[in-house]
Structure 1
């Protein structure tokens, strides 16, 4: 059984789950129609159930919900539904952080004021599936709020969708993207090239660096060692990979496995000279 805490609108209600003591949001067509606070209700067929996390531990969920207009919460729920169509399982705890971001993005769109996201091109490559969901989310937001968010805001929403698929916080994923972007700049400078995020080699390189950072955070290694081969055959590439690994160590404040150098060097070599390894 649920006890209604607050009716958000005809399509959403904040409830207390009597059995677990959890505060939840139920979203779905007509779920809030005719409902009243303190009313006891049974499970509603077809309603989506969202467990909630406040932005700060000292905040009550009701306080957070009261600070976000219902249409933004509904938009966040529909974006999560879109993500579930592609990825099946999405952590519903991203609902309020995503709704909060949508509210801020809509406010910026209303004021014709944008926060630039220089990592949007990298986000689009690294998290292409999540980005596709965020693009659909832009249409959902416009439909429900009347505001069309920018391409850079789509990039930020992509990070929220990714957070629902992984153990990473949005800020952590953004930091990882920033590290990858800077690492690509180091490679471009060394070889005097411009890397295209649309090329298969560059996509693979960026993906490799992402999982390389994930392994480093977990204290794992590749268990394959190409260092001797790469230093002997492509010393300049290996030295560049070594500098990138040193940069990652410095930013992450974690040791990067020695074996990562040779493995990264292979991916760099494939980008600067396709077909050589």
Structure 2
């Protein structure tokens, strides 16, 4: 049972869970019709229930929902539902940050302001399924608001979806993506050759860098030491990998298991070999 705190529109409510006294957003066709604050409603299989998480400086969900057009909260709910069809489970706490982002994306479209996403290619590679959902979500946004957002904006929505899968803040995912991008530039500069972005080798290297950062965060060790093999056979790749690992540790402010260097160097060596074949 939920006590209505605010009617957002006919299809959206802000309510309080009677058992836990915590705020919830309820979405469902006609759920708010004829209702008023203080009324009680039940949830059923047709009602989607979301936990509205807000930033610390914002006092409550009530404060946030008062600043967002309810249609964008509905849109965010539909996008989360679409993501759940693909991933099975998505943390619904992302509804308000996602709604807030979509509202600003629509405002930029209305004012003909293009916000470039410098990491759009990285997002497509690292979070391909999330990006596919985000691209499909553009139809939802256009149908419900009249605005068609760009691929770059869809990239940012993909990060919100990833946040719902990883329980990682969007800002942290962006920082990870930026560090990976820097690492790729270091490697390209060191080997003196641009790596074809659509190549399998590029995708594998970028994926490897991503999971290196994941292991740093979780303090997970790799199970094979290739450092001595690399030192004897691929010293140049080893030096490049060392620079990348050192930069990564500094940016993440975390130590890295030494065995990561050897694994990365093997990937770097593939890039070196590929560059030499082109000459």
Q: Under TM normalisation by the shorter chain, which class is it?
A: over 0.9
- CA deviation after TM superposition for structure 1 residue 257, in Å: 1.4
- CA deviation after TM superposition for structure 1 residue 196, in Å: 2.7
Structure-2 residue corresponding to 1:158: 158
1:226-241 equivalences under 5 Å are 226-241=226-241
Q: Hey, what's the Cα distance between the residues in 1 that align with 2:28 and 2:203? A: 38
- CA deviation after TM superposition for structure 1 residue 59, in Å: 1.6
| TM-superposition CA deviations, 1:93-123 (whole Å, max 9, x none) | 0000000001111111111112221111101
Structure-2 residue corresponding to 1:224: 224
Q: TM-score, normalization: structure 2?
A: 0.94
- CA deviation after TM superposition for structure 1 residue 198, in Å: 2.1
The CA RMSD over aligned residues, in Å, is 1.4
Q: Hey, what's the Cα distance between the residues in 2 that align with 1:77 and 1:258? A: 43
User: Where does the alignment leave 5 or more consecutive residues of structure 1 unmatched?
Assistant: none
- CA deviation after TM superposition for structure 1 residue 209, in Å: 0.7
1:262-277 equivalences under 5 Å are 262-273=262-273
Q: Hey, what's the Cα distance between the residues in 1 that align with 2:50 and 2:185? A: 40
Question: Contact 1:221–1:257 (CA<8 Å) still a contact in 2?
Answer: yes
Q: Hey, what's the Cα distance between the residues in 2 that align with 1:49 and 1:197? A: 41
User: Where does the alignment leave 5 or more consecutive residues of structure 2 unmatched?
Assistant: 275-279
State whether structure 2 residue 148 is matched by structure 1 residue 145: no
Question: Contact 1:122–1:197 (CA<8 Å) still a contact in 2?
Answer: no
1:222-261 equivalences under 5 Å are 222-261=222-261
| TM-superposition CA deviations, 1:176-235 (whole Å, max 9, x none) | 000000110111111122223322221111111111011112222212111111121111
Deviating beyond 6 angstroms after TM superposition, the runs of 4 or more aligned structure 1 residues are: none
- CA deviation after TM superposition for structure 1 residue 57, in Å: 4.7
Question: Contact 2:91–2:167 (CA<8 Å) still a contact in 1?
Answer: no
Structure-2 residue corresponding to 1:40: 40
Q: Secondary structure at the match of 1:6?
A: strand
Q: Hey, what's the Cα distance between the residues in 2 that align with 1:31 and 1:158? A: 29
Q: TM-score, normalization: structure 1?
A: 0.95
Question: Contact 1:55–1:97 (CA<8 Å) still a contact in 2?
Answer: no
Q: Hey, what's the Cα distance between the residues in 2 that align with 1:122 and 1:93? A: 25
Question: Contact 2:12–2:32 (CA<8 Å) still a contact in 1?
Answer: yes
1:1-277 equivalences under 5 Å are 1-273=1-273
Q: Which moved more, 1:163-172 or 1:35-44?
A: 35-44
Q: Hey, what's the Cα distance between the residues in 2 that align with 1:208 and 1:267? A: 8
